[in-house]
Structure 1
C-alpha cells in the first residue's frame, strides 16, 4: 500500500512539473505605433512594427518573452517655425529601430496576461522631412542620433485562441535620442497595439 501511494505521488508530481514547464512557444507579431518625443514642442506620429518572439514558461503563472522587432518611430513638430531666412513647416523626424524587448509576463488567467520589462534598441535609419520655404525637404540625419536606445515597457495582452492574440504596450525611453553635443534631452515614447500569432 505504501509503495502504491508513493508511486501515485511521484506520478502526480511529475504531471504537475510537466504542466508548469511546458516548452517554449515561437511566434510573430505586428501592429501600429503611436510614437513621440518627450517635451512640449512635438506631437505623435503613426508607424508600424513587426517582429518575432519566443515565450518561455517559468511556472504556471509566469513566463519570459524575448522579442526582435523592427519599429518605425519618431515624432512631428507641433509648430511651424523660422530659422533666419528659412520658414520651416510640417517637419517630421523618422527613426527606425531594431528593438529587443525582454518582457516578464504574469498570466492572470489562461487568456489574459500583464507584462513588464526592458527594451534595447539599435537605430538603423533616421530621416528628417518637411517643407522649407515652400519646397519639400528630406535628409538623412542618423549621425546626429545616439545609436543605442534603452527603455522600459509595460503592457497587457489577451489570447483569443491558442494561436491568435492581441497586445497593447507602452514603452518609455530612458536615454536621450540626440547625441550629447546637441544639448537636447528628448526621449522616445511609444504606444503599440497589434496582433500576435503563436505557432
Structure 2
C-alpha cells in the first residue's frame, strides 16, 4: 500500500522543471452512482445489483501540453459496488416478508489513479468547457457488505468473494471551469468510468462477470504553482 501511495503522489506532483510554471494543482469532491450491472454471483440468485450513491474525492495536477491540451493525473478515493433492494431469503412467507424489508450494499473501496488528458474546447472568454478522457488504475483497499432492516438495524461485516486487488478502467467526461478569486479556478464535471477487468476472480471453472461502472458529478478548485 505504501508503494502505491508513493507512485500516486509522484504521478500527481512530479513533472519536468521546464514546464513547472504552467502547472495547476487542485482538489475535487464527487457524488457517484456505482453498480456492477451484470454480477454473475448475484444473478445466480435470481437478483441483480442496482446503482447506489457513494462519495469520493481526489487530488490532481494539471500539466499543460499546448494551448488546449493538458495532462491531468489524479490520486482519488472512490467506493464502487451496488445495492440489493430486498433480499432473497427463500420462498416461505417469513423469508419473503423479511427480505422485502431488508436491503444490502456491496462496498468496494479503491485508491484510483486516473491518467487523464484534458482538452479545452474554447480558451476565449472567462469560462471554458472541456472534455477529459484516459485510463484509470484502481487498487482495492477494502470490501464490506452492509445490511439495513427497516432503517433501524444496520449490520456491517467483511466479505471475501475472491476479490481482485487491481482494477483497470477507462474514464470519459465533460466539464466547465471558471475563474474565481485571483488565479484560482472552479469547475464542475460529469464523468463516466467503465471497468475493463472483473472485480471478482473466477471460482475455479466458474467464470464470474463483475465489471464495475460509475457515473460521477464533481466540483472542485485548482490554482497555479511555481510562479
What TM-score do you get using the length of structure 2 for normalisation? 0.71
What TM-score do you get using the length of structure 1 for normalisation? 0.80
1:142 is displaced (CA, Å) by 4.9
Equivalent position of 1:152 in the other structure:
170
- For structure 2, the 5+ residue unaligned runs are 1-18
Equivalent position of 2:81 in the other structure:
74
8 Å Cα contact 1:21-1:59 kept in structure 2:
no
Equivalent position of 1:51 in the other structure:
58
What is the correspondence of 1:1-199 to structure 2 with a 5 Å cutoff? 23-39=22-38, 41-82=48-89, 87=95, 89-110=102-123, 111-130=128-147, 136-142=154-160, 144-161=162-179, 162-181=184-203, 183-199=207-223
Equivalent position of 2:10 in the other structure:
none
SS at match of 1:152: strand
1:63 is displaced (CA, Å) by 0.8
4+ runs deviating over 4 angstroms: 83-88
| Structure with bigger gyration radius | 1
Q: 1:184 to 1:135 in 2, by over 3 A?
A: farther
SS at match of 2:197: strand
Q: Hey, what's the Cα distance between the residues in 1 that align with 2:210 and 2:26?
A: 33
Which structure has the higher relative contact order (CA within 8 Å, separation 6+)?
A: 2
- For structure 1, the 5+ residue unaligned runs are 1-19
8 Å Cα contact 1:34-1:190 kept in structure 2:
yes
1:23 is displaced (CA, Å) by 1.7
SS at match of 2:22: coil
RMSD: 2.6
Q: Hey, what's the Cα distance between the residues in 1 that align with 2:218 and 2:195?
A: 20
